[in-house]
Structure 1
C-alpha cells in the first residue's frame, strides 16, 4: 500500500502589485528615516527577485497602522475565504466529493484563529462529522512539507483513506510598521500572500506520484534563527542573517544520509522541488546542487511570480512539476526550511 499525491490547487487573494508599484509606498512608510537607509531598503525590494506579490489587503491598508486585533480580524476573514476556495478547487480537480475526505490538515502561521481554519471548512463544505482534523500553526515556511508528512503517516496507517492539506498564509498581515530592523525590511521585500491545497490518498486505485520516504532534520541550538515574536503590535519577524550559511554547513547531514537510506544519491534525483525562502537562501541551495548538474529554476520562477508565501509556496513549486507530467519512475525531492531551525524532506516517485 502506497500513499500518492493526487492533485495540487492554488488560490490567490484579489489584490496584487508589481514591485515597482510598491516602491512609492516605501517613501511614505519610511518618511523620517535616514536617506541612505531608505535607498538601501528600496534596493532590497528591487533586488529581491520578486516581480509581483499578492495580498489580502490593498497596499494602502498594508501600509496603514492598525491594531493587532484589526489585522488579525482581516486575516481570519480572508483565510476562511481562501481556504474554502482552494479546497473546493482541489476536490473538483480530483473529482472527489467533500465527504470522501477522512483527514484534513490546515497550515498557517501568519495569524491566530481559535477555532482553527479546519473547523470552518468542515461546516462550509459539509465535510464528514467524523473527519480527523489537525491544525499546524507554528511551523512557518516548512509547514507545507510538514503537513504532507503528517498526512502521509495518517494515510499509511489507514489504508483506503483520503486527506487534504490546506496551506493559507498572509505574511502581509504581519508587517510591523514600527519595526525598522533589516529582518522586517527583508521580510516585507520577499513575502506575499497565497493559498494551496494538496490532496493525498492511500486508495490503491488512485493515481499520482508516490511518497517513497519523508524525514525531518532539526538543527540543534538554532531556535533564534527564524520565526515570529508575539508583540503588542502583532507578529514581529525574526530572520537571522546566518540562515544561508547554516544551511550550507548542514547540507551534507540532511541530504546525503536521507538519500542513502533509500539507496540513492543526488544524481538519482530528477526534480528538485524546493521552497523559495528568499534570494539568498535560493542562491545557497542552487550553489549546493549545481555541482551535480541540478537546477531549481521552478523555485526561482515561483519566487519571481508570487514571492515567499510561507508554507503554501512549496506546493506552488510542486504544482509546476506535476503539470509537466514527468516520466514514470522519475524521482523528486521536496525540501523546505523553517523555524526550529528545521529542514524537512519528502522523496517522491512519479
Structure 2
C-alpha cells in the first residue's frame, strides 16, 4: 500500500519587508554600539541571501515589544489564523473536505500554546471528533520532514485514511531586543515567518508522489549546536557556527547509505528538496551536491524570497516541485536538519 503526498499549500503572514527596508530599523536598534560592530551587522544582513521576509509582527513591534507574554500572545493569535488558511488551501488543492482528514499533526517551535494549534483547527473547520492529534513542538527546522514521516507511518498502518501536517513558525517573535550577540543577529538576518500544510493519503485513487522510504539520523554529542534557551524575555536562539562543518562531515553517511538501502545512487535522484537553513548551510550543501552533479536552486530561491521559516521552509520547497507536474518515475529527496542535532530524509517517487 502506497502513501502519497497529494497537496502542499503555503500561507504567508500579513507583514513583509525587503531586507533593505529592515536595515534602518536595525540601525536604530544598534544606536550606541561601536561603529565597527554596526558596519559588520549591516553587512551581515545585506549578505544573508534573503531579499525579503514575512512576519506576524510589524517592524515597530519586533523592535519594541520586549515581554515574552506580549510576543507569545501575538504568536498564538496569528499562528492559528495562518494554520487555518494554509490547511484550507491544501484541502482545496486536493479537492477534499476537512472531515476527510483522519490524522492531524501541527508543527511549531517558535512559541508556546496549550491547547496546541490543532485543537483550534478542529473547531474552526468542523473536523472529525475522532480525529487523531499529534502536536510536534521541539524538533525545530527538522520538524516539517519529521511531521511527514509521522503521518506516513500512521497511514501505512491505516489504509484508506488521510493526514494533514501543518507547520506554522514565527521566528521573528523570538528576537531578543536586549541581546547584541551574533547568534541573535544572525537569526534575525536569516529567519522569517510562514506556514505550510501538507496532505498525505493512503487511498489508491489519490494522486501524488509516493513516499518510498524515510529515515532519521542523529548526530552524537551535538545537543548544544542548535535550539532555544527559554529566558525571561522568551525563546533565545542557539545556533553554533560549526553547524555547516558538522553537516559536511556527516554528509556521506546521511545520504549514501539511505540511497543504497533503496538500491539507488545519487545519480538516480532527479530533485533535491532541501531545507534552506541559512546562506552558509546552503553553500555547504550546494558544494556537496554540486560535486555530485546536482543543484539546489529551488532551495536558494525559497531562502531569497522568504528567509528560513524553520520547519515550514522545506515544505515551501516541496510545493514548488509539486506544482510542476513532474514526470512519472522521477525521484526526489527531502532533507532537513534540526536540533538534536539531527537529519531527516524522505525519498519520493512521482
Match of 2:346 in 1: 346
Q: CA RMSD in A?
A: 0.5
2:63 alignment partner in structure 1 = 63
Cα distance in 2, alignment partners of residues 281 and 260 from structure 1: 25
Pairing 1:189–2:189 present? yes
Question: Helix, strand or coil: the match of 1:224?
Answer: coil
Aligned to 1:85: 85
Contact 2:101 / 2:127 at 8 angstroms: preserved in 1?
Answer: yes
- Worse overlay, 106-115 or 86-95: 86-95
The equivalent residue for 2:321 is: 321
TM-aligned CA deviation for residue 32 of structure 1: 1.0
Query: Which residue of 2 is the match for residue 98 of structure 1?
Result: 98
Cα drift, residue 28 of structure 1: 1.1
* Residues in 2 aligned to 1:28 and 1:301: alpha-carbon distance in whole angstroms: 29
Residue pairs, 1:38-77, within 5 angstroms: 38-77=38-77
Secondary structure (helix, strand or coil) at the match of 1:176 reads: coil
- Match status 1:309 vs 2:335: no
* In structure 2, distance between residues paired with 1:340 and 1:5: 26
| Distance apart, 1:330 and its partner CA | 0.6
2:66–2:177 contact (8 Å) kept in structure 1: no
Instruction: Give SS of 1:22's match.
Output: helix
2:186 is paired with a residue whose SS is helix
Question: C-alpha offsets along residues 250-293 of structure 1, whole Å, 9 cap, x if unaligned?
Answer: 01111110000000011111000000000000000000011111
- Does residue 275 (structure 1) correspond to residue 279 (structure 2)? The answer is no
What SS does the corresponding residue of 2:299 show, helix, strand or coil?
Answer: helix
Secondary structure of the residue that 1:346 maps to in structure 2? Answer: strand
- TM-fit CA distance, 1:66: 2.2
Instruction: Return 5+ residue gaps in structure 1 as ranges.
Output: none
**88-97 vs 330-339, which deviates more?**
88-97
Q: Does 1:212 align with 2:212?
A: yes
TM-score (norm 1): 0.99
> For the residues of structure 2 that align with 1:281 and 1:146, how far apart are their CA atoms?
19
Q: 1:340 and 1:33 mapped to 2: Cα distance?
A: 34
**Matched residue SS, 1:282:** helix
Q: Equivalents in 2 of 1:244, 1:293: separation in Å?
A: 20
- TM-score, with normalisation over the residues of structure 2? 0.99
Give the aligned partner of residue 234 of structure 2: 234
Distance 2:9 2:267 in 1: 30
Cα distance, 1:65 vs structure 2: 3.4
Q: Structure 2: which 5+ runs fail to align?
A: none
- How many residue pairs were aligned? 350
CA distance in 2, matches of 1:338, 1:66: 27
Cross-structure match for 2:123: 123
Q: Does 1:143 align with 2:143?
A: yes
1: CA distance between counterparts of 2:65 and 2:135? 29
